[in-house]
Amino acid sequence: MISETMAAALNEQMNYEFYSANIYLAMSAYCSAKGLDGFASWHYNQYLEEQLHAMKFYHYLLDQNQPVELDAMPKPKKDYGSPLSVFEQALAHERSVTARIYKLVDRALEERDHGTNSFLQWFVNEQVEEESTINGILDKLRLVESSGNGIFMVNNELGQRPAPQPLA
């Protein structure tokens, strides 16, 4: 059994993961409107992945016999600037997610909630991967700067990202 404060914090994170999904969907729409279908596809797949993350929290709460509390979320913005700016904003957002996950781990450790700590370790590792992936894309975008040919190549590469598989 988890504490009420832990359940509330996990519900808050679940809702933030849904918000993250909406941010990536908005980024996908922005890229699509700019004719950057590979960028749009990458962000759409990230949207799907963030929904899966939210559902992990959803199921964990239910498994712990805790209520799931869905909240309204802020509307994501519509304009993200250049391809480089889109990914800079994505990295900043992922860093905010990482900070939130770390706070949850700290809370679990303070409460000696070993089950929740174990559950959260998947997210700790996932955030390392998320930030690393976006940093790699940013490196490529900085390398090509605003070169049309370079953006075209990165766009094609990003379009090759497979859709995420449902989590077990």
Residue 121 is predicted with a pLDDT of 98
Residue 94 marked in a binding site: yes
Q: Is 53 exposed, middle or buried (0-12, 13-18, 19+ CB in 10 A)?
A: buried
pTM > 0.75 = yes
Residue 145 marked in a binding site: no
pLDDT averaged over consecutive 10-residue blocks of the chain (168 residues)? 96 98 98 96 96 97 98 95 96 98 98 98 98 97 86 89 78
Residue 99 is predicted with a pLDDT of 98
Residue 164 is predicted with a pLDDT of 83
Residue 50 marked in a binding site: yes
Residue 17 marked in a binding site: yes
Hey, where are the domains in the chain? 4-68+80-159
Compute CA distances 66 → 4, 6, 115, 123, whole Å.
Answer: 8, 10, 14, 20
CATH 3.40.50.2300 fits 4-68+80-159, yes or no: no
Residue 58 CA to residue 81 CA, distance in Å, equals: 33
Residue 168 is predicted with a pLDDT of 63
Residue 110 marked in a binding site: no
Residue 161 is predicted with a pLDDT of 86
